[in-house]
Amino acid sequence: MADLLRFTALKAYDLLTGRHLLARLQELNRTQWLDREELLTLQRKKLHGLLAYAYRYVPYYQRLFDQVNFKPDDVLADLTALHKLPVLTKAIIRENFDDMLTTEGKRRAQMEKLTTGGSTGRPLIFMQDSNFRDYVTADIHRHLGWAGWKLGQPHAYIWGASFEVGRWQVLRVKLMDWVLNRFLTTAYVLSEEGMSAFAAQVRRRRPRILFGYPSSLYHFAEFVREHGMDDIKFEAIFGSAEVLYPAQRQFIEEVFAGKMFNRYGSRELGGIACECEAHTALHASIENVYIEILRELEGNEPTQPGETGHIVVTNLNNYGMPFIRYSIEDMGAWSSRESCPCGRELPLMELIQGRRIDMFKTRDGRDVWGGFASPLFGMEGVKQFQVVQKSLDLVVARIVKEGELDQARLDTIERTVKVALGDHVRVEFEFPDEIPILDSGKYRYVISEISENRRDQGVS
Ligand SMILES: [Zn+2]
């Protein structure tokens, strides 16, 4: 009865809001069984549609395509025609933000602004239309289906909650939580108290599936083990948006007595790939993304299966602000496996490398995910930042300035740190000319020297 009610509510939700969540889910559940040829044909058709739209409605691409003499129709004959277009970087997006938005009024009206919580020193601001968001949610639910989940069954998330959510958005999210039968605890502050409350909720609602960042899942698993909560089990655990380390996986699977599904995705692109029930590698969602893995970002030389390279993604659904050949700053490889026992012919990718988020410690024993900094730090005057926890009482905020950075903004930063870590914490500012890049080619935007030392000593 409740299931039918939820199904009806989801239909009503789609009707009321003009969204197409249910239709998209059904579509992805169907296309995942197409054979490889059919999938590639579908993908090329969607790619062509996006390129044609971008050329018609998006000033940045109009200019770029003309400059390099690229015609959207070129990809119909030869996909490598796409190589004429340079790789899209975060810097290019920032410089051309307004020109990258569609000029089509109808679509502009349904755009939502978002910020990445990514591991680079400066979050990216971008916009997404509702068609894109429908596909993102539908893709998550398709992947849950690979673990046996059905629409309406309870499932739990340990996930970041945005600070920027308005009242109407909160209501909508609440409605969706009920309709989809999902519940969430925030990953920003995983206190003992928060984890106890979450554990109680899990006991009450008995979700079969848990979804979260690997670091948060690992943390919750440690908590469950420490407190001897032997009844907290999940059949399937999805780790997403962070690297899943083999040791984490093993521990999480052991504690929860379930199988882990490694998933790869990002806020700006949605789901990119996910493990299926055969757990061979990650199936790429090629109905939603066109993926290239390149030896160098400058050249257009693709890697061989098994060879790690730079991942470059074109999202096929976000017409509102198209990301064409976007460098997501992750490394990965095509799998050397040709096929998967599950029978799906979505191409297989190997483990993604290169992202890591640190946990901060507090004096009262909480672990706080460093991502607390990201939504607020997309601010004017801040070119790059790095927040370093020196001790339980001292945090250093390194900021590379861009123009003027007034005191009010510095106060906001200080408040954010205190809210997350405690009022007694002292915040010191440093203003270097640059923040060095790691060997992996990335910035670390949060560093907890306490956590680092703990790891060195093998304590964590
Ligand atoms: Zn498979």
Q: Which residue has the higher pLDDT, 375 or 385?
A: 385
Packing angle of the helix pair 36-57, 59-67 (nearest 10 deg): 100
Convert the pLDDT of each residue in 89-143 to its tens digit.
989 999 999 999 999 999 998 888 877 654 444 678 888 898 998 999 999 999 9
Domain 1-356 in CATH 3.40.50.12780? yes
Is the CA virtual torsion 89, 91, 92, 97 positive or negative?
positive
**What is the location of CATH 3.30.300.30 in the chain?**
359-456
On whether the CB atoms of residues 249 and 220 are closer than 8 A, the answer is no
Whether 54 shows a pLDDT value over 70: the answer reads yes
pLDDT (0 to 100) of residue 17: 67
348: CA distance to ligand 1 center in Å? 8
For every residue of 321-346, DSSP letters joined together read: S---SEEEEEEE-B-S----TT---S
341: CA distance to ligand 1 center in Å? 6
276: CA distance to ligand 1 center in Å? 5
Give the residue-averaged pLDDT of 306-311.
Answer: 89
| CA–CA–CA angle 456, 458, 460 (5° rounding) | 105
Q: Name which of 35-39, 67-71, 176-180, 309-313 the model is least confident about.
A: 176-180
Q: Name which of 122-126, 129-133, 237-241, 331-335 the model is least confident about.
A: 122-126
- Single-letter amino acid code for the residue at 286: I
28: CA distance to ligand 1 center in Å? 15
Q: Name which of 57-71, 184-198, 363-377, 407-421 the model is least confident about.
A: 363-377
On average, the pLDDT of the chain sits at: 85
Q: Which secondary structure element, helix H or strand E, spans residue 12, and what is its range?
A: helix 2-17
Most confident of 61-70, 183-192, 246-255, 289-298: 61-70
Whether 424 shows a pLDDT value over 60: the answer reads yes
pLDDT (0 to 100) of residue 192: 80
Count of CB atoms situated within 10 Å of the CB of 372 = 24
Whether 202 shows a pLDDT value over 80: the answer reads yes
Whether 443 shows a pLDDT value over 60: the answer reads no
pLDDT (0 to 100) of residue 426: 96
Count of CB atoms situated within 10 Å of the CB of 267 = 18
For every residue of 125-188, DSSP letters joined together read: EEEE-HHHHHHHHHHHHHHHHHTT--TTS-EEEEE---TT--HHHHHHHHHHHHHHTEEEEESS
Pairing of strands 112-115, 125-128: antiparallel
334: CA distance to ligand 1 center in Å? 14
% of the chain at pLDDT higher than 70:
85
148: CA distance to ligand 1 center in Å? 14
pLDDT level of residue 222 (50, 70, 90 thresholds)? confident
163: CA distance to ligand 1 center in Å? 36
Whether 442 shows a pLDDT value over 50: the answer reads no
106: CA distance to ligand 1 center in Å? 39
pLDDT (0 to 100) of residue 169: 62
**What residues contact 78, with CB distance under 8 A and at least 6 apart?**
none
186: CA distance to ligand 1 center in Å? 30
272: CA distance to ligand 1 center in Å? 15
269: CA distance to ligand 1 center in Å? 22
117: CA distance to ligand 1 center in Å? 29
Whether 239 shows a pLDDT value over 50: the answer reads yes
pLDDT level of residue 244 (50, 70, 90 thresholds)? confident
Count of CB atoms situated within 10 Å of the CB of 266 = 20
pLDDT (0 to 100) of residue 163: 39
**What is the location of CATH 3.40.50.12780 in the chain?**
1-356
345: CA distance to ligand 1 center in Å? 8
Whole-model pTM? 0.77
282: CA distance to ligand 1 center in Å? 8
147: CA distance to ligand 1 center in Å? 11
235: CA distance to ligand 1 center in Å? 18
pLDDT level of residue 400 (50, 70, 90 thresholds)? confident
39: CA distance to ligand 1 center in Å? 15
Convert the pLDDT of each residue in 160-197 to its tens digit.
654 344 555 666 777 777 777 888 777 665 678 888 99
Give the residue-averaged pLDDT of 419-447.
Answer: 76
> What burial class does residue 404 get, using C-beta atoms within 10 Å of its C-beta: 0-12 exposed, 13-18 middle, 19+ buried?
exposed
275: CA distance to ligand 1 center in Å? 7
Most confident of 56-70, 147-161, 213-227, 337-351: 56-70
252: CA distance to ligand 1 center in Å? 22
32: CA distance to ligand 1 center in Å? 10
pLDDT level of residue 207 (50, 70, 90 thresholds)? very high
361: CA distance to ligand 1 center in Å? 39
CATH level 3 topology of 359-456: GMP Synthetase; Chain A, domain 3 (3.30.300)
283: CA distance to ligand 1 center in Å? 7
Convert the pLDDT of each residue in 6-34 to its tens digit.
777 777 777 666 678 889 999 999 999 99
208: CA distance to ligand 1 center in Å? 20
pLDDT (0 to 100) of residue 8: 76
347: CA distance to ligand 1 center in Å? 9
29: CA distance to ligand 1 center in Å? 13
Helix (H, G, I), strand (E, B) or coil at 73: coil
446: CA distance to ligand 1 center in Å? 35
Is the CA virtual torsion 190, 196, 197, 203 positive or negative?
positive
Q: Name which of 123-132, 346-355, 437-446 the model is least confident about.
A: 437-446
Distance CA 115, CA 117 (A): 7
274: CA distance to ligand 1 center in Å? 9
Distance CA 6, CA 1 (A): 9
Tokens at 75, concatenated: 């990809």
